[in-house]
């Protein structure tokens, strides 16, 4: 097959104009289609098409390998050739490969189907694109009259699957219109990781237990379902994407469903559920009214009837259902009626102020009385973050188990990045900040960061005040202002969070006040597009992280910061004290003590030995082992253990047939917010066989 030579840009590599452009320009985003074909002559042919949304550039080669080696080894050699070629092409043109679709024609697909071992090199090529080139990879079967046509088709396909204006983007969120099932990773067309990558990042006892439980789920043909309100934005959605990705690799039947969005309902669930439970508002206008209850209940029931009810093939034959937070909990009675044998787990992710919920007549009491009495009480198990004060009254202790939140080491939020990747995303961040009228991150200055939604519970005004105090102390020490660290405040939005824009505007207004305006030029504030790698890069480039939440369940951003060896200065709020070892991995400050935060930042910045002690501790094997429980495989063991213990199908054990005792236990709140010594145990303690 003849080789088509690429035409290179007029800005040749090494020219003064080219070098100048590379210093300032954001690499141009491109999308690649790679087509592979096994020819009658016994050789692999391949073609690559580069697409930027308007035009194509194609490259085509016949790959000639040693005829004495197997086809599997030929494919492995081809992988290296393709990765090397496209990397050189992208670097020479100052292109950024956003995504790539790797595919083959039906004839080659049939050969691969006959020889399953050939799948591994193709999947390995995809993971190389993800980890080596930071390009999101997809696999697809292609059609065309030639390899170049197939490659062009693949490039157009992957371009359509993504959101081109988002650098470092993730796939468009795909939802089945018939059932509102979230089709994670474009219904598994995206292939970023393999089982081996999870094995490499998980300790052996945990991994062995995961395989054991996955095998049991497959043997018993258990069907596990997750339900929540939104497929994107916030920690719950991030956890579910990662969980489903791993479950599919393990072959477990685990699916995830979301409700059809209704902005009027989201105002209720955010301001009158979430904010009220966390106690961040005492305004009576946010008390739940009868019309609110009716609208929310009707929305939940309509979603159930339209997408998940009888005859939909969703709830009918489910064995275990996990309900994430209260947003769609009104479907629980309908689930019970349709499938009486299903076991329902309610997973509470937020800090519920049980002290306020215990006070008769309070907004929290009336809200919890409504949700618990009519809906959540019909669940079999109540999973809470491991803080007793988060567990509201009237929840029987027999129904409670504890589980922290988790993040994923291999997704875009946490994977390792090169210095070039971090620099690229710094420029992307600066473009986003500039578009919002905010200063960008300087290339020659350190910065402090808080990554969080623009939410009333996240303590953003405290962050700004602590930064002002910190800067004032540095000036008193005689340190020139151009050597002071910047402050970065950023985060994603969520479709079920109407407060984001309001809080963002309040932050901008705060920076115009005389007390803060002299520092505003060094405070970068940005609501960022849905790019996981963008958050990962700006966190990796930071000096240290803040988490000054006034109310918090279990903050995965703390976990992610510590996993990147960034010391965290945080308030003693919610589950955060369980994540940070004070004085070893971070510094805990009493809520509202911005002076203490500023003092901690001054010492971290001015005492390099003190700072290095934190970083060195975070890099130890002991800390790495402790963090295991906050990552996807460990969390998946928890879920599969619960599923296998609770589900009826294929289990003759009495534990699966007994329901929790119906006794009512009131007053789980201690009055001071610390962890309570009581009967609730971590889920991990059951399958690890450890004592509480």
Rounded average pLDDT over 258-264: 94
Say what the pTM is: 0.90
Relative to beta strand 486-491, strand 447-451 is parallel
Of 216 and 78, which is predicted with more confidence?
216
Rounded average pLDDT over 430-438: 92
Provide the token pair at 44: 């692999």
- The fraction of the chain above a pLDDT of 90, given in percent, is 59
User: Which residues contact residue 5 at a Cβ distance below 8 angstroms, ignoring those fewer than 6 apart?
Assistant: none
Q: What is the pLDDT of residue 94?
A: 86
Chain-centre distance for alpha carbon 42: 43
Q: What is the pLDDT of residues 276-324, one digit of tens each?
A: 988 888 888 989 999 999 999 999 999 999 999 999 999 999 999 999 9
Helices (runs of H) and strands (runs of E) counted in the chain? 27, 17
Q: Most distant CA pair in the chain: distance in Å?
A: 81
Q: CATH topology for 432-630?
A: Rossmann fold (3.40.50)
Q: What is the pLDDT of residues 340-385, one digit of tens each?
A: 999 999 999 988 888 888 889 999 999 999 999 999 999 999 999 8
CATH class of 16-165: alpha beta
Please say if the pLDDT value at position 569 is more than 80. Answer: yes
Alpha carbon distance 557, 545 (integer Å): 9
Alpha carbon distance 353, 362 (integer Å): 11
Taking domain 188-408+635-688, whether its CATH number is 3.40.50.300 is answered by: no
Q: What is the pLDDT of residue 390?
A: 86
Confidence of residue 659 (pLDDT cuts 50, 70, 90): very low
Exposure class string for 386-405: b at 16+ Cβ within 10 A, else e: bbbbbbbbbbeeebbbbbbb
Q: What is the pLDDT of residue 23?
A: 57
Q: What is the pLDDT of residue 55?
A: 76
Q: What is the pLDDT of residue 574?
A: 83
Q: What is the pLDDT of residue 664?
A: 36
Q: What is the pLDDT of residue 65?
A: 59
Please say if the pLDDT value at position 58 is more than 80. Answer: no
Of 668 and 448, which is predicted with more confidence?
448
Sheet holding 44-51: strands in order across?
Answer: 56-63, 44-51, 28-38, 95-104, 136-141
Please say if the pLDDT value at position 654 is more than 60. Answer: no
Q: What is the pLDDT of residue 172?
A: 79
Q: What is the pLDDT of residues 592-637, one digit of tens each?
A: 999 999 999 999 999 999 999 999 999 999 999 999 999 999 999 9
CA distances from 517 to 462, 506, 524 (A): 15, 14, 13
* Average pLDDT score over the chain: 87
Provide the token pair at 103: 């595919």
Please say if the pLDDT value at position 183 is more than 50. Answer: yes
Three-class SS of residue 223?
strand
Instruction: Please identify which residue in the block is written with the tokens 């971290």.
Output: 604
Q: What is the pLDDT of residue 358?
A: 87
Three-class SS of residue 563?
helix
Rounded average pLDDT over 428-445: 93
For 370-434, give the DSSP string: HHHHHTGGGSSEEEE-S-GGGS-TT--GGGEEE----B-TTSTTTS---HHHHHHHHHHHHHHHH
Rounded average pLDDT over 151-167: 80
Looking at 157-171, 462-476, 603-617, which range is the least confident one? Answer: 157-171
Q: Do domains 188-408+635-688 and 432-630 have the same CATH topology?
A: yes
Spell out the SS3 assignment of 104-132: ECHHHHHHHHHCHHHHHHHHHHHHHHHHH
Please say if the pLDDT value at position 2 is more than 60. Answer: no
Q: What is the pLDDT of residue 655?
A: 44
Please say if the pLDDT value at position 141 is more than 50. Answer: yes
Q: What is the pLDDT of residue 337?
A: 96
Of 3 and 334, which is predicted with more confidence?
334
Please say if the pLDDT value at position 215 is more than 70. Answer: yes
Q: What is the pLDDT of residues 61-106, one digit of tens each?
A: 555 556 667 778 878 888 888 888 888 888 888 889 999 999 888 8
Please say if the pLDDT value at position 333 is more than 80. Answer: yes
Structural domain spans, the chain: 16-165, 188-408+635-688, 432-630
Of 265 and 169, which is predicted with more confidence?
265
DSSP state of 474: H
Looking at 168-182, 255-269, 578-592, which range is the least confident one? Answer: 168-182
Q: What is the pLDDT of residue 342?
A: 96
Q: What is the pLDDT of residues 38-54, one digit of tens each?
A: 777 667 788 888 888 78
Looking at 234-238, 259-263, 429-433, 654-658, which range is the least confident one? Answer: 654-658
Alpha carbon distance 649, 220 (integer Å): 7
- Of these ranges, 27-31, 144-148, 323-327, 386-390, the one predicted with the greatest mean pLDDT is 323-327
């Amino acid at each position: 097959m003849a080789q088509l030579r690429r035409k290179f840009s007029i800005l040749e590599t090494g020219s003064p104009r080219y070098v100048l452009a590379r210093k300032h320009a954001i690499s141009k985003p491109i999308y690649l289609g790679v087509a592979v074909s096994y020819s009658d002559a016994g050789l692999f042919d391949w073609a690559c098409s580069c697409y930027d949304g308007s035009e194509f550039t194609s490259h085509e080669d016949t790959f000639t390998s040693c005829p004495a080696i197997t086809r599997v080894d030929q494919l492995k050699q081809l992988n290296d050739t393709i990765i090397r070629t496209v990397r050189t092409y992208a670097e020479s043109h100052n292109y950024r490969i956003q995504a790539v679709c790797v595919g083959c024609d039906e004839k080659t697909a049939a050969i691969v189907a006959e020889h399953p071992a050939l799948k591994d090199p193709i999947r390995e090529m995809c993971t190389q694109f993800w980890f080596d080139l930071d390009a999101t990879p997809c696999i697809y079967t292609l059609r065309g009259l030639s390899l170049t046509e197939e490659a062009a088709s693949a490039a157009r396909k992957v371009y359509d699957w993504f959101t081109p204006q988002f650098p470092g983007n993730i796939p468009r969120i795909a939802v089945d219109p018939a059932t509102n099932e979230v089709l994670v990773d474009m219904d598994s067309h995206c292939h970023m990781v393999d089982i081996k990558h999870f094995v490499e990042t998980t300790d052996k006892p945990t991994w062995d237990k995961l395989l054991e439980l996955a095998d049991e789920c497959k043997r018993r043909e258990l069907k596990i379902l997750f339900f929540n309100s939104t497929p994107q934005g916030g920690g719950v959605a991030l956890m579910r994407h990662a969980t489903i990705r791993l479950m599919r690799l393990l072959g477990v039947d685990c699916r995830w469903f979301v409700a059809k969005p209704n902005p009027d309902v989201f105002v209720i669930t955010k301001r009158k559920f979430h904010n009220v439970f966390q106690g961040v508002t005492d305004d009576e206008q946010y008390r739940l009214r009868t019309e609110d209850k009716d609208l929310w209940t009707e929305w939940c029931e309509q979603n159930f009837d339209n997408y998940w009810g009888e005859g939909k093939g969703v709830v009918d034959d489910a064995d275990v259902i996990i309900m994430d937070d209260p947003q769609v909990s009104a479907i629980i009675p309908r689930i019970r009626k349709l499938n009486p044998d299903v076991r329902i787990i309610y997973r509470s992710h937020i800090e519920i102020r049980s002290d306020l919920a215990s006070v008769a007549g309070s907004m929290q009491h009336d809200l919890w009385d409504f949700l618990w009495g009519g809906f959540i009480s019909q669940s079999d198990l109540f999973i809470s973050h491991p803080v007793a004060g988060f567990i509201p009254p009237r929840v029987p202790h027999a129904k409670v188990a504890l589980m922290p939140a988790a993040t994923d080491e291999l997704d875009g939020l946490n994977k390792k990045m090169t210095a070039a990747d971090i620099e690229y995303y710094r420029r992307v961040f600066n473009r986003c900040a500039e578009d919002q009228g905010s200063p960008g991150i300087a290339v020659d200055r350190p910065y402090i960061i808080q990554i969080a939604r623009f939410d009333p519970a996240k303590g953003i005004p405290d962050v700004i005040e602590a930064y002002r105090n910190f800067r004032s102390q540095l000036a008193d020490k005689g340190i020139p202002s151009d050597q002071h660290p910047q402050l970065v405040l950023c985060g994603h939005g969520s479709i079920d969070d109407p407060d984001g824009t309001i809080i963002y505007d309040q932050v901008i207004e705060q920076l115009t006040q005389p007390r803060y305006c002299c520092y505003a030029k060094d405070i970068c504030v940005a609501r960022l597009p849905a790019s996981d790698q963008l958050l990962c890069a700006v966190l990796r480039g930071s000096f240290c992280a803040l988490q000054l939440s006034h109310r918090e369940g279990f903050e995965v951003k703390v976990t992610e910061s510590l996993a990147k060896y960034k010391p965290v200065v945080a308030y003693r709020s919610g589950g955060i004290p369980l994540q940070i070892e004070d004085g070893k991995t971070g510094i805990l400050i009493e809520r509202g003590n911005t002076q203490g935060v500023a003092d901690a930042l001054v010492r971290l910045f001015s005492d390099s030995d003190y700072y290095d002690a934190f970083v060195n501790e975070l890099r130890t094997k002991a800390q790495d082992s402790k963090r295991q429980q906050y990552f996807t495989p460990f969390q998946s063991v928890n879920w599969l253990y619960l599923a296998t213990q609770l589900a009826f199908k294929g289990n003759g054990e009495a534990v699966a047939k007994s329901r929790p005792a119906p006794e009512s236990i009131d007053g789980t709140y201690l009055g001071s917010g610390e962890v309570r010594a009581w009967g609730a145990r971590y889920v991990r303690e059951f399958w690890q066989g450890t004592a509480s």
